[in-house]
A = this chain, B = another copy of it.
Amino acid sequence: MNDVMWKRSLALFAVALLLVLGGCGQLTNSSSTASTGTTSNRKVQTTGNYSTTGYNSVVTEGHYKTSAARGVAADYANNALDVKGMETGLMQLSQDVFSPNKYTFQEGQYISAANVKNWLGRKSKSNATGLNPEANGSTDPDKRVPEYLGTMVEQDYMTGSGSKLSLGGISIALGMNAVDYYQKEQYGATFQTKVNKDKQLQEGKTMAQEIVDRLRAKNNVGNVPIFVTIYSLAEQDSLVSGSFIAKATATGKTIDKWDSVDQQSGVLPTVNNQKPINSADATAFNNFKTQVQNFFPNLSGVTASVHYLDGALTQMTVNIQTQFYGQTEIMSFTNYVASVANKLLPGNAPIQIIVSSVNTTQALITRNSGEKEFTTNVLQNY
């Protein structure tokens, strides 16, 4: 072989390597920029970003910067699913504004726990900063003024690198009540005032502008973009989280144009003969459920939660409850579930299948975005 031919061969070799490495998915994604130095020379570090959609996160002197306000805000949520839904969803929506390639994630640091407590309350003599309107004295569901704002989440997005991180942007989610639960007397029965989507949007937009004003007035926030979103909270007994309905960015003092967000969440199989969000996905899930449920003589439940953004499936989480938990039984079952999932569950969307028995996770079967096949993990907890 002469020189030119060798070079051609090598080029062919390199192309082969790249093509195949590209197909390794997860494995190559994992090569991250994480720094986990034990010395305190670099006081600020980041966690590394191993997930497909995630950000690096800020770590200061080995400690995670937790949000002081989270505990307070979470207590205000009527449905625990909403807390996870708002946190995950706000991070997902923020990616279009603050790219994970450029920004590092930090739990909200600018709205304090005291702020959250006061802002979520009604405006009154003793609470001048309350974002919910003053009560009008009525206890009639349709005549009283409801509390529109139920809870809120702040997330910060940092720019720079190493120990020189500075605030690059703030994301806010306002959780608006679809139902405002209230008592006519302390410890009395609970009554409901419904709030329709138009009213949620109207009140949310006004409050969002007020929050932007208050943030701009704070030290150190300056003129960074503030991304604001409106989330419609689920009812207390809902099996699924609520959903985001609008988003906008304030690059200066006032919020620019609002865009609607088409997010939907549901459970499969649907309850009370409800129409599924996407009937093809529901059929696929039902076929999967049928094949999986026949595997063991006794399998107590196969359910799924599904999340859609602009009509596209963004996450499916399947929960399988089984009473069997021999280690080899779980190993065989996990392999079987993965093969049925590969064949029947919808393509392209990230899917997690959680196998539990006796309230303990036994196995996890996952496929991330862009991956073709499911990966299995049987928990080796012995």
Number of interface residues of A (CB under 8 A): 95
Within A326-382, the residues touching B (CB, 8 Å) are 326-329, 331-336, 338-340, 342-344, 350, 352, 354, 359-361, 364, 366, 371-382
Contact A294 B62 (CB under 8 A): yes
Q: How far is the CA of A359 from the CA of B356 in the complex (A)?
A: 12
Q: In the complex, which residues of chain B have a beta carbon less than 8 angstroms from the beta carbon of A105?
A: 328, 332
Q: In the complex, which residues of chain B have a beta carbon less than 8 angstroms from the beta carbon of A373?
A: 27, 30-31
The verdict on A25 contacting chain B, using a C-beta distance below 8 Å, is: yes
Given contacts A47-B336, A376-B51, contact A64 B329 (CB under 8 A): yes
Q: What's the least CB distance linking A41 to chain B, in Å?
A: 15
Q: What's the least CB distance linking A237 to chain B, in Å?
A: 15
The verdict on A81 contacting chain B, using a C-beta distance below 8 Å, is: yes
Contact B12 A20 (CB under 8 A): no
Partner pick for A343 among B13, B36, B51, B374, CB 8 A cutoff: B36
The verdict on A74 contacting chain B, using a C-beta distance below 8 Å, is: yes
Q: In the complex, which residues of chain B have a beta carbon less than 8 angstroms from the beta carbon of A235?
A: none
Q: How far is the CA of A339 from the CA of B29 in the complex (A)?
A: 12
Q: In the complex, which residues of chain B have a beta carbon less than 8 angstroms from the beta carbon of A352?
A: 377, 379-380
Q: Which of A27, A374, A380 has the most CB of B within 10 A?
A: A380
Q: Which of A57, A85, A241 has the most CB of B within 10 A?
A: A57
Interface string of A304-322 (1 = CB under 8 A from B): 0100000000010101000
Residue of B nearest to A336 (CB): B47
Q: In the complex, which residues of chain B have a beta carbon less than 8 angstroms from the beta carbon of A343?
A: 36
Q: How far is the CA of A36 from the CA of B335 in the complex (A)?
A: 11
The verdict on A63 contacting chain B, using a C-beta distance below 8 Å, is: yes
Residue of B nearest to A20 (CB): B20
Contact B48 A338 (CB under 8 A): yes
The verdict on A269 contacting chain B, using a C-beta distance below 8 Å, is: no
The verdict on A87 contacting chain B, using a C-beta distance below 8 Å, is: yes
Residue of B nearest to A90 (CB): B328
Q: In the complex, which residues of chain B have a beta carbon less than 8 angstroms from the beta carbon of A324?
A: 66
Q: In the complex, which residues of chain B have a beta carbon less than 8 angstroms from the beta carbon of A331?
A: 51, 54, 57, 91
Given contacts A16-B16, A340-B36, A364-B364, contact A319 B381 (CB under 8 A): yes
Q: How far is the CA of A13 from the CA of B36 in the complex (A)?
A: 37
Q: In the complex, which residues of chain B have a beta carbon less than 8 angstroms from the beta carbon of A63?
A: 294-297
Given contacts A1-B8, A372-B27, contact A377 B380 (CB under 8 A): no
B-contacting residues of A (Cβ < 8 Å)?
Answer: 1, 5, 8-9, 12-13, 16-17, 20-21, 23-27, 30-32, 34, 36, 38, 47-51, 54, 56-57, 59, 62-64, 66-67, 70, 74, 81, 83-85, 87-88, 91, 105, 107, 155, 241, 287, 291, 294-297, 305, 315, 317, 319, 324, 326-329, 331-336, 338-340, 342-344, 350, 352, 354, 359-361, 364, 366, 371-382
8 other contacts beyond A5-B9, A70-B329, with CB at 8 A cut-off?
A26-B375, A30-B338, A50-B376, A63-B294, A70-B326, A305-B381, A354-B379, A361-B379
Q: Which A-B residue pairs are the 5 nearest by beta carbons?
A: A48-B339, A34-B339, A57-B332, A30-B373, A84-B382
